[in-house]
Amino acid sequence: MSADVAIRARGLGKRFGALQAVDGVDLTVPRAQVCGFLGPNGSGKTTTIRMLCGLLAPSAGEIEVLGLRVPEQSEALRRRIGYMTQKFSLFEDLTVRQNLEFLAAVQDLPRRRAAARIEELLVQYHFADRQKQLAGTLSGGQKQRLALAGAVIHAPELLFLDEPTSAVDPESRRDFWEKLFELADAGTTILVSTHLMDEAERCHRLAILDRGVLVADGAPAALAGALAGRTLVVHAAQPRRAREALQAAPGVVSVVQVGNALRVLTAEDGGAAERLRAVLAGAGVAAEVAPAAPNLEDVFVAATRGRALAQERAA
């Protein structure tokens, strides 16, 4: 594996009885980048992360993480990675400092190094004046920040985060993501799962999972750019009638109302605007149709719903 690659998986699969939770995933994550895993609940994000960090044995495929084979060398890998779940997993009846001291002991940090690292994290994660506060009394955002500090106490090379901000407010989410980019700037590779579009847009690289299958992979801007010509905005005096007409039109993947306008994603470009105008005119709906810049939500819908439509046509 190349030295500038942190994670490489090929043909990764996981089956639970009759359920194929992850199916043939090929994934490459460059070092020192924030890579996002985007997908709805049940798409296989958590299962994939657990296989990549050695907590779950795959049913098929090959995994190499930080130059180590997984799951064969999982024990050696664990000292070099951090893992944070969406649910607060520290001890609520211990103070902030005591939680960090416990995690330092779990990671076998020498006493002097542990003490210095804890002091560093208390300042860096804004707990200097709360170090004696019980973790259970912290706000949701503070708990997530403490969990992140605990996950990086041993300065891991690679950090896995599973839906880390699903239960915190927008301001706390912004602060949390600033910490992630500070870590990436310092050389830490981060793989973070999310179902939030605004978070996915912030990632250096994005992988989209749909029912266990990797349906898109690349930089968010490049993924959106690949949809050029396929997204349009429709302004109509009767948007509900316009929506009904467009939803039934061939080649239309999705129609979403945004305020008084409709955002339309088509299966292919090349005269899409003219086709929509003809459909609306045929339905007796007066409307204006104009091109729109594709965004990450369009990418997600194209990758997931477009796959479903392709499967329907094949059947």
Please give the domain boundaries of the chain with CATH numbers for all domains. Answer: 5-220 (3.40.50.300), 225-314 (3.30.70.100)
pLDDT band at 304 (very low <50, low <70, confident <90, very high): confident
Give how far Cα 226 sits from Cα of 4, 34, 143, 163, 194, Å: 26, 21, 39, 27, 22
Question: How confident is the model over 216-233, as pLDDT tens digits?
Answer: 999 999 999 999 999 999
Rounded CA-CA distance 8/1 in Å is 8
Q: Residue 89 CB: number of other CB atoms within 10 A?
A: 12
Q: Which residue has the higher pLDDT, 259 or 130?
A: 130
Task: Identify the CA nearest to 165 among candidates 195, 121, 206.
Answer: 195
pLDDT band at 86 (very low <50, low <70, confident <90, very high): confident
Report the DSSP beta bridge partners of residue 120. none
- CA–chain centroid gap for 307, Å, is 19
- Name the token pair of 62: 């090959």
Report whether 195 contacts 119 (CB < 8 A): no
Residue 251 has pLDDT above 60, yes or no: yes
pLDDT band at 311 (very low <50, low <70, confident <90, very high): low
Identify the pLDDT of residue 124: 94
User: pLDDT exceeding 70 applies to what percent of the chain?
Assistant: 96
Residue 305 has pLDDT above 80, yes or no: no
Question: How confident is the model over 195-222, as pLDDT tens digits?
Answer: 888 899 999 999 999 999 999 999 999 9
Residue 166 has pLDDT above 90, yes or no: no
Q: What is the mean pLDDT of residues 145-171?
A: 91
Q: What is the mean pLDDT of the chain?
A: 92
Residue 315 has pLDDT above 60, yes or no: no
Q: What is the mean pLDDT of residues 301-309?
A: 74
pLDDT band at 309 (very low <50, low <70, confident <90, very high): low
Identify the pLDDT of residue 89: 83
Rounded CA-CA distance 187/139 in Å is 29
Contacts within 8 Å (CB) and 24+ apart, 200-206: 200/36, 200/38, 200/296, 201/296, 202/34, 202/36, 202/177, 203/34, 203/35, 203/36, 204/30, 204/33, 204/34, 204/35, 205/29, 205/30, 205/33, 205/34, 205/35, 205/36, 206/35, 206/36, 206/38, 206/296
**Which are the contacts of 145, defined by CB distance < 8 A and separation ≥ 6?**
125, 126, 127, 172, 175, 176, 179
pLDDT band at 308 (very low <50, low <70, confident <90, very high): low
User: pLDDT exceeding 90 applies to what percent of the chain?
Assistant: 80
pTM above 0.95, yes or no: no
Identify the pLDDT of residue 53: 94
Pairing state between β 158-162 and 189-194: parallel
